[in-house]
């Protein structure tokens, strides 16, 4: 299996010069390996040779006809985006954790640059998110200039009187 994986790396040009040199030396001495390389290459070339149809001449017009009939797309409001995403369990879990963290932090929430809202995420309360959920959170953070703090500054110890 490793040999076969090396074939892919070789065919895709993903070997360094030394590794490539070693592989080609092995290729020269191994008819089996050479046959594997040749058949892999041939299978890919057959796939590449499959004919494709050209798009219908009026496809662009059809697309643009549909697009022009649509209202101008607008950036969804934060609430709209959240209400859609809150149907997803991982996002619900994330939002729940955030709520708890924010409630616990209370007075530790501080105003960010330009009085934008600040979301403080407690590093100790991690929620496992899928890629798309993470992407969504990142989108929100970037779209609305919300500042994310990965760890919460600890509350200063109460002074002893």
**Where does this chain bind other proteins (CB under 8 A)?**
4-5, 8, 12, 14, 35, 38-56, 59-60, 62-64, 66-68, 70, 72-76, 131-132, 135, 139, 142-143
CB of 118 to other proteins, least distance (A): 21
Nearest CA to 119 among 105, 133, 135, 134? Answer: 105
Q: Report, in Å, the least distance between residue 89 CB and other proteins.
A: 19
Q: Which is nearer to other proteins, 70 or 107 (CB)?
A: 70
Sign of CA dihedral 139, 145, 149, 154: negative
DSSP state of 114: G
CB of 150 to other proteins, least distance (A): 19
149 by Cβ neighbours in 10 Å (0-12 / 13-18 / 19+) ranks as middle
């Amino acid at each position: 299996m490793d040999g076969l994986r090396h074939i892919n790396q070789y065919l895709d040009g993903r070997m360094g010069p030394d590794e490539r040199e070693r592989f080609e030396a092995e290729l020269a001495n191994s008819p089996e390996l050479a046959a594997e390389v040749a058949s892999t290459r041939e299978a890919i070339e057959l796939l590449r040779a499959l004919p494709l149809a050209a798009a219908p001449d009026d496809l662009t017009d059809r697309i643009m006809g549909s697009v022009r009939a649509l209202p101008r797309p607008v950036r969804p409001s934060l609430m709209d985006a959240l209400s859609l995403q809150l149907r997803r369990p991982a996002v619900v879990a994330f939002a729940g954790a955030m709520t708890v963290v924010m409630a616990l932090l209370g007075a530790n929430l501080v105003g960010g640059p330009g009085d934008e809202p600040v979301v403080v995420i407690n590093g100790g309360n991690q929620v496992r998110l899928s890629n798309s959920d993470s992407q969504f959170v990142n989108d929100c953070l970037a779209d609305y200039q919300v500042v994310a703090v990965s760890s919460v500054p600890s509350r200063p110890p109460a002074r002893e009187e």
